[in-house]
Amino acid sequence: MAEEHLGLNVALTQLKLAAKKLQLDNGMYKMLSLPKRSINVSVDIRMDNGSVGVFNGIRVQHWDARGPFKGGIRYAQGLTQDEVTALAMLMTWKCAIVDVPFGGAKGGICIDAKKMSTHELERLTRRYISLIFEYLGPHRDIPAPDMYTDAQTMAWIMDTYSQLKGYRVPESATGKPVEIGGSWGRNEATGRGVIHCVKQAAHDKGLKLKNASVAIQGFGNVGYHAAEAAYNEGLKVVAVSDSTGGIYCPDGINPSEVLAHKEQTQTVQNCLGCKNITNQELLELPCDVLIPAALENQITCKNADKIRAKMVAEAANGPTTPDADKALYEKNICLIPDILANSGGVTVSYFEWVQNLTQEQWPLEVVNSKLETKMTKAFNDVVKLAKIEGSDMRTGALMLGVGRVANAIKTLGLWP
């Protein structure tokens, strides 16, 4: 992979661009380019076979000038300090763009979660949280689900934190099951948020959404719920894919039927009435909306000229490389950047945190209404700034997020 496409290098390049356009001084740029705190721990657990497993755990806290640190915990092979640092930085801008009172953090453990039992994952999670406990808390750092972690993981985290505190603290983690303080609508929030942005972009560009064709790369939690939200809004989902490949049906597919097929066969491929395609072929399909919801670096200088969508909405983190960004902008393809498009998850995490603090539980329709209001305002804020700057939406989003964080730091001043 080219050096310039590595996560931290891209994040720092984006920060430098925003800082230059915002005319931030060099001191502020240096402050924002480094996390406030990076924590590395050795997570040692007893495996099911009686052996001792030793795993590397990381938590990076970027900036908390606008509120407590907030960010997911992922379990992934090959997880690196640089990757986590880049994601924590992007979380800082994301929270500022959608205007929720959080700073950015990210964490994880370098493991292959698919090869571990549920009992091993529970012991691993509880051990990891016990090791970073003093840096966590509802007013300090609030974990959430990410790659290969879920509501059950968050339940273990909340319970571990609560046991160590000596009383129940549901607001110590978000993305929990509803029965122990989770919010209705949290599981599907990121996917729904992507489609809210697509709706706003369509309105802005004069594109009719009814029966507009949508291709979605990735059929995990975010990809599936984006497909479901698009289908419910009257868009025509013509293609989806997972790690095994994809399917294409110009007449449209029902996401729930594809999900049932995937649960039965472990793949979306070979779905009745659909043509099997590769993930690469999905990206190059003729469609109105392309939603990359899988891995980073999927749209590059090698295939940017083959993208035929009118709009790209980044549900994944970093699916488009900087050189491809430029190519799509020159082709007049509307690109909704990840730090805006996939901010629905942290938005509803904020709603969950508020509900826990106030000991309330809002109905699903209230959560969804508040989510749409937040996403719509954030989208319009980004578009307004991008138009003033004569830039693409990613530049506008970065300027908005970085600018809000820098202003908060300036207002607070440096202590002591």
The CB density around residue 46, as the number of other CB atoms within 10 Å, is 13
Q: In whole angstroms, what is the distance from residue 377 CA to residue 189 CA?
A: 16
Kindly list the distances between the CA atom of residue 85 and the CA atoms of 28, 135, 138, 191, 199, in Å, as whole numbers in the listed order: 18, 16, 21, 24, 32
Q: Tell me whether domains 3-170 and 189-332 share a fold.
A: yes
Q: Which CATH superfamily is domain 189-332 in?
A: NAD(P)-binding Rossmann-like Domain (3.40.50.720)
Is 389 within 8 Å of 23 (Cβ atoms)? Answer: no
106 is catalytic: yes
Q: What is the pTM of this model?
A: 0.95
Rounded-to-integer distance, Cα 339 and Cα 318, Å: 9
Domain ranges (residues) in the chain: 3-170, 189-332
202 touches 209 (CB < 8 A): yes
| DSSP secondary structure of 278-293 | -HHHHHTS--SEEEE-
Q: Which residues contact 53 (CB under 8 A, 6 or more apart)?
A: 44, 45, 46, 47, 120, 124
Indicate the CATH number of 3-170 among 3.40.50.10860, 3.40.30.10, 3.30.70.1290, 2.60.120.10: 3.40.50.10860
**Nearest to 74, CA basis, from 64, 88, 92:** 88
Written as one string, the DSSP assignment of 108-145 is EE-S-GGGS-HHHHHHHHHHHHHHHGGG-BTTTEEEEE
Sole residue written with tokens 């549920």: 118
Q: Can you give the pLDDT of all 416 residues of the chain as single tens digits?
A: 444 446 899 899 999 999 999 999 999 999 999 999 999 999 999 999 999 999 999 999 999 999 999 999 999 999 999 999 999 999 999 999 999 999 999 999 999 999 999 999 999 999 999 999 999 999 999 999 998 999 999 999 999 999 999 999 999 999 999 999 999 999 999 999 999 999 999 998 888 888 999 999 999 999 999 999 999 999 999 999 999 999 999 999 999 999 999 999 999 999 999 999 999 999 999 999 999 999 888 999 999 999 999 999 999 998 999 899 999 999 999 999 999 999 999 999 999 999 999 999 999 999 999 999 999 999 999 999 999 999 999 999 999 999 999 999 999 999 98
Q: Which residue has the tokens 């868009």?
A: 235
- Residue of 106, 176, 236, 262 with catalytic role: 106
Distance of CA 86 to the CA centre of its chain: 13
Q: Find out whether 343 and 372 touch, Cβ atoms under 8 Å.
A: no
DSSP-assigned letter for residue 299 = B
